[in-house]
């Protein structure tokens, strides 16, 4: 219990002192939220605004008044969709933080086991499926660098970095850079205190 509390405190310290990791998590949450900003209520509001504008035009109401109603409706829709996106991004950000905490506190390796003779064997670390160069690129990704910055730091082309990242994602069976970094941290291939 004490060790788990200490690990949690270490995690909180690293997260508080590493805004790049926090920024990566928030960007991932925002990317998840953006497509969902146009929910059913907002689409209904757009339809009502369009129908109101059409009816006002058909009834012969002044174009100025019709235009004002249309613009006001669109501004309302835009404001509500931005609010919806922020709300979802914050919700997803909290989920990303919780997933990171869960990864950080979960054991990275299995516990020691007794073999048939009664001798305890040490746990083996998870096999690292990526090359040393890919590991260097992941360490750069963990520090929040974009492809061009990684390329400059490692004296390779941005296209080579992109290829390495594609291979990393494929080998680790993850969909994005943040998940790859978190998996590497959990398995002990890289540490957050080095970034």
- Is the domain of 88 the same as that of 7? yes
Angle formed at CA 159 by CA 151 and CA 143, multiple of 5 degrees: 35
The domain spanning residue 134 has which CATH number?
1.10.10.10
In this structure, the answer to whether residues 136 and 69 fall within a common structural domain is no
Mean pLDDT by 10 residues, the chain (195 residues): 51 65 78 76 85 91 90 89 87 80 56 44 62 90 88 93 92 86 83 61
Domain that holds residue 32: 2-105
60 Rama class: left (phi>0) / alpha (psi -120 to 50) / beta: left
Q: What is the pLDDT of residue 178?
A: 82
User: What is the model's pLDDT at position 17?
Assistant: 65
Element housing 78 (H / E): helix 63-105
Residue 130 placed within a domain: yes
Share of the chain above pLDDT 90, in %: 20
Q: Is 113 helix (H, G, I), strand (E, B) or coil?
A: strand
Q: Measured between alpha carbons, how far is 190 from 195 in angstroms, rounded to an integer?
A: 9
pLDDT per residue over 170-185, tens digit each? 998 888 888 888 888 8
55 and 97: one domain?
A: yes
Angle at 31 between CA 30 and CA 36, to 5 degrees: 85
Inside any domain, residue 113 = no
Count of CB atoms within 10 A of residue 186's CB?
17
Structural domain count, the chain: 2
Is 115 inside a domain boundary? Answer: no
> Is the separation of the CB atoms in 53 and 73 below 8 Å?
yes
Domain end (from 105, 138, 163): 105
Please check whether residue 61 lies inside any domain of the structure. yes
């Amino acid at each position: 219990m004490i060790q788990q509390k200490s690990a949690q405190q270490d995690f909180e310290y690293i997260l508080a002192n590493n805004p790049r990791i926090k920024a990566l998590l928030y960007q991932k949450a925002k990317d998840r939220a953006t497509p969902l900003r146009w929910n059913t209520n907002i689409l209904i509001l757009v339809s009502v605004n369009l129908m109101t504008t059409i009816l006002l035009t058909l009834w012969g109401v002044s174009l100025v008044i019709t235009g004002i109603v249309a613009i006001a409706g669109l501004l309302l829709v835009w404001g509500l969709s931005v609010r919806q996106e922020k709300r979802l991004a914050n919700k997803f950000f909290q989920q990303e933080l919780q997933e990171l905490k869960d990864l950080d506190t979960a054991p990275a390796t299995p516990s020691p086991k007794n073999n048939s003779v009664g001798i305890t064997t040490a746990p083996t670390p998870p096999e690292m499926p990526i090359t040393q160069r890919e590991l260097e690129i992941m360490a750069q990704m963990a520090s929040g660098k974009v492809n061009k910055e990684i390329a400059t730091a490692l004296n390779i082309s941005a296209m080579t970095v992109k290829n390495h990242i594609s291979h990393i994602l494929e080998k680790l069976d993850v969909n994005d850079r943040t998940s790859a970094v978190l998996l590497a941290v959990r398995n002990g291939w890289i540490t957050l205190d080095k970034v």
